[in-house]
Amino acid sequence: MSEDTAWLAPVLASGTFRSRYALGAVLGEGAMGLVYAATHLALDRPVAIKFVRPGLLDPVALSRFTREARLAARIVHPNVVVVFDSGQEGEIPYLVPYLVMERVEGPSLRTRLAAGALSLAEALRVASEAARGLAAAHDAGIIHRDVKPENVLLTSSGGVKLADFGIARPISDAPTLTTSGLILGSPAYMSPEQVANRELSASTDQYSLGIVLYEMLCGRPPFSGSTGEILAQHLRDAPPRDLIYRERVPPQAGEVLDRLLDKEPAGRFPSMHAAADALGAAVTQVPAGAATGPIVAPGITTSGRAATLALPRTATGDTPALIGVPTARIQPYRVRRGRVAFALVCALLGAGGLYTRLAHPRVPPPALPSTPAPASEFAAGTVIGNRRSHIYHVIGEDHSTLPHPENRVFFKDIAAAEAEGYRRSKF
Secondary structure (DSSP) of 126-186: HHHHHHHHHHHHHHTTEE----SGGGEEE-TTS-EEE---TT-EETT----B-TTSPBPS-
Q: Is 302 a domain residue? A: no
95 and 120, same domain (yes or no): no
pLDDT value at residue 299: 34
132 and 243, same domain (yes or no): yes
49 and 139, same domain (yes or no): no
Query: Has 146 been annotated as catalytic?
Result: yes
Between the alpha carbon of residue 32 and those of residues 49, 69, 154, 164, 248, the distances in Å are 13, 14, 22, 11, 36
| Angstrom distance (rounded) from CA 351 to CA 340 | 17
Mean pLDDT of 415-427: 78
E strands, 249-374, in order: 306-310, 322-326
117 and 262, same domain (yes or no): yes
The closest of 329, 271, 314, 312 to 134, measured between CA atoms, is 271
Q: Is 311 a domain residue? A: no
| Angstrom distance (rounded) from CA 4 to CA 17 | 20
How many domains in the chain?
3
Give per-residue pLDDT as tens, 247-298: 888 888 999 999 999 999 999 999 999 999 999 999 988 876 554 444 433 3
Q: Is 120 a domain residue? A: yes
239 and 117, same domain (yes or no): yes
Percent of the chain with pLDDT over 70: 69
Q: Is 348 a domain residue? A: no
| 263, 284, 305 - which closes a domain | 284
170 and 21, same domain (yes or no): no
User: Which residues, in sequence order, are bridge partners of residue 142?
Assistant: 170
136, 77 in Cβ contact below 8 A?
Answer: yes
| Angstrom distance (rounded) from CA 113 to CA 115 | 5
| Angstrom distance (rounded) from CA 119 to CA 217 | 7
| 228, 260, 284 - which closes a domain | 284
186 and 66, same domain (yes or no): no
pLDDT value at residue 403: 73
User: Is the predicted pLDDT of residue 38 greater than 80, yes or no?
Assistant: yes
- Beta strands 423-424 and 391-394 are parallel
Q: What is the CATH number of the domain that holds 143?
A: 1.10.510.10
Range of the domain at 52: 3-102
131 and 275, same domain (yes or no): yes
Q: Is 127 a domain residue? A: yes
Q: Is 319 a domain residue? A: no
Q: Is 414 a domain residue? A: yes
| Angstrom distance (rounded) from CA 154 to CA 106 | 5
Mean pLDDT of 114-134: 95
| 284, 317, 333 - which closes a domain | 284
CA angle 310, 125, 223 (to 5 degrees): 70
User: Is the predicted pLDDT of residue 116 greater than 60, yes or no?
Assistant: yes
Q: Which of 44, 139, 146, 237 is an active site residue?
A: 146
| Angstrom distance (rounded) from CA 205 to CA 346 | 54
pLDDT value at residue 381: 79
Mean pLDDT of 154-166: 87
pLDDT bracket for residue 304 (50, 70, 90): very low
Give per-residue pLDDT as tens, 348-382: 555 555 555 555 555 444 443 433 434 446 777 78
Where b means 16+ CB within 10 Å and e means fewer, 162-180 reads bbbbbbbbeeeeeebeeee
149 and 242, same domain (yes or no): yes
- On average, the pLDDT of the chain sits at 76
Give per-residue pLDDT as tens, 165-219: 754 455 544 444 444 444 556 899 999 999 998 888 999 999 999 999 999 999 9
| Angstrom distance (rounded) from CA 390 to CA 419 | 12
94 and 134, same domain (yes or no): no
Q: Is 338 a domain residue? A: no
238 and 385, same domain (yes or no): no
Phi, psi of 366 (to 5 degrees): -65, 150
| Angstrom distance (rounded) from CA 90 to CA 210 | 41
Report the range out of 2-16, 149-163, 305-319 with the highest average pLDDT. Answer: 149-163
pLDDT value at residue 328: 33
pLDDT value at residue 252: 86
73 and 170, same domain (yes or no): no
- Comparison of pLDDT for 45 and 294, the residue scoring more: 45
Q: What is the CATH number of the domain that holds 25?
A: 3.30.200.20
69, 83 in Cβ contact below 8 A?
Answer: yes
